C-alpha cells in the first residue's frame, strides 16, 4: 500500500508540473493580450495547477484498482489506466505549445512596430533572445517526444529530458529571478 501511495503522489507531482507550466503560459499570454486586466485570476490558476491533476490522479487510481491492481503499479500491462494520465499531460503540452507560438507571434508583432527602434538584425536578436528565454519557462522541450509512443523513443527521450528537463528550474531561476533586477 505504501509503494502504491508513493507512486500516486509521484504521478500527481509529474502531472502538476505540466499543469503549472500551462498556468505559466496562460498567465504570460493573458499579460500580453489583456494589458490592463486588474483581475489576476489566481483562483482559476490554482484550480488548473492543482485541481485538474487531482481529478485525473483520482481517476487513474480508481482505474488501476479496477483494471490492473498488481504489484506496485509501476507496470502498464493494460493501456487504459496509463492513458488516463498520459492524455491530460499531452493536452497540457499541446496547449502550452500553442500558447508559446502565440506569444512568439505577439512578440514579433511588437518588435516590428514603429515604436521599437533598431535595425532588422537587432530586432531578430531580441526575438531570438525572447524565444530562448521562453523555451524553459513553457517546457517546450517536452513537445519533442510528446506524441511518440513510449516504447519507440524511450532511450533518446530519457537522455533528452534528463539533459534539458533537469536544468529547467535552474534556467528559469537564473533568467527570471537572479538576472532580473525587478525581483
Question: Residues 31-65: pLDDT tens digits?
Answer: 778 766 666 678 888 999 999 999 999 999 999 88
Question: In whole angstroms, what is the distance from residue 50 CA to residue 98 CA?
Answer: 21
Q: Is 107 part of any domain?
A: yes
This prediction has a pTM of 0.74
Q: Is 183 part of any domain?
A: no
Q: Residue written as cell 511518440?
A: 148
Q: Is 67 part of any domain?
A: yes
Question: In whole angstroms, what is the distance from residue 93 CA to residue 86 CA?
Answer: 11
Q: Is 29 part of any domain?
A: yes
CATH number of the domain that residue 95 is part of: 1.20.1070.10
Length of the chain: 183
Question: Residues 59-108: pLDDT tens digits?
Answer: 999 998 888 888 887 777 777 788 888 899 889 988 988 988 888 888 77
Q: Is 74 part of any domain?
A: yes
Q: Residue written as cell 485541481?
A: 51
CB contact at 8 A, 143 and 160? no
Q: Is 60 part of any domain?
A: yes
Owning domain of residue 164: 1-178
Other beta carbons within 10 Å of 64: 23
Report the number of distinct structural domains present in the chain: 1
Question: In whole angstroms, what is the distance from residue 173 CA to residue 35 CA?
Answer: 25
Question: In whole angstroms, what is the distance from residue 13 CA to residue 7 CA?
Answer: 10
Q: Is 23 part of any domain?
A: yes
Amino acid at each position: 500500500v505504501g509503494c502504491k501511495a508513493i507512486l500516486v503522489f509521484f504521478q500527481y507531482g509529474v502531472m502538476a508540473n505540466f499543469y503549472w507550466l500551462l498556468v505559466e503560459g496562460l498567465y504570460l499570454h493573458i499579460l500580453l493580450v489583456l494589458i490592463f486586466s486588474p483581475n489576476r485570476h489566481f483562483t482559476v490558476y490554482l484550480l488548473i495547477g492543482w485541481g485538474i491533476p487531482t481529478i485525473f490522479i483520482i481517476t487513474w487510481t480508481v482505474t488501476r484498482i479496477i483494471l490492473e491492481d498488481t504489484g506496485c503499479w509501476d507496470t502498464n500491462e493494460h493501456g487504459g489506466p496509463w492513458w488516463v494520465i498520459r492524455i491530460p499531460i499531452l493536452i497540457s503540452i499541446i496547449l502550452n505549445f500553442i500558447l508559446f507560438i502565440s506569444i512568439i507571434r505577439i512578440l514579433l508583432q511588437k518588435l516590428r512596430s514603429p515604436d521599437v527602434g533598431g535595425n532588422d538584425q537587432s530586432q531578430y536578436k531580441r526575438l531570438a533572445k525572447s524565444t530562448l528565454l521562453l523555451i524553459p519557462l513553457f517546457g517546450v522541450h517536452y513537445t519533442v517526444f510528446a506524441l511518440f509512443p513510449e516504447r519507440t523513443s524511450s532511450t533518446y527521450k530519457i537522455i533528452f529530458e534528463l539533459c534539458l528537463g533537469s536544468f529547467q528550474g535552474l534556467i528559469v531561476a537564473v533568467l527570471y529571478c537572479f538576472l532580473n533586477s525587478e525581483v
